[in-house]
Amino acid sequence: MEKLDNRWQLSEDKKKIFKEFQLSAFLPALDFVRKVGEEAEKRNHHPDIKINFKKVTFELTSYFAGEQLTDLDFQSAKAIDKIYANL
């Protein structure tokens, strides 16, 4: 299993990782979520998403593994970070 980096945090129950992203406004936040959604479809691994105006929070866990963390969660976190960096 990979290590957490780039401010991804481990949930108290150690079953999820999550991170909050700050965008400039609501529409850029929606665009970010859309891009992450496209990547999630390619991977067939979908985050839980919360949008609060210009703040977006993603949570990752592997439901297929009984809500446990797998390498797919960490790979998805890296992909989300890459999308954010390229906005």
Contact 54, 26 (CB under 8 A): yes
Ramachandran category for residue 14: left, alpha or beta (phi over 0 → left; psi -120 to 50 → alpha):
left
- Give percent of the chain with pLDDT exceeding 70: 94
**Structural domain boundaries of the chain?**
26-85
The 3-state DSSP class for residue 22 equals strand
- pLDDT score, position 2: 60
Give yes or no for residue 20 having a pLDDT over 90.
yes
**What pLDDT band is residue 6 in, cutting at 50, 70 and 90?**
confident
Domain 26-85 fold: Gyrase A; domain 2 (3.30.1360)
DSSP states of 43-69 as a string? HT---EEEEETTEEEEEE-BGGGTSB-
Residue 9's SS3 state is strand
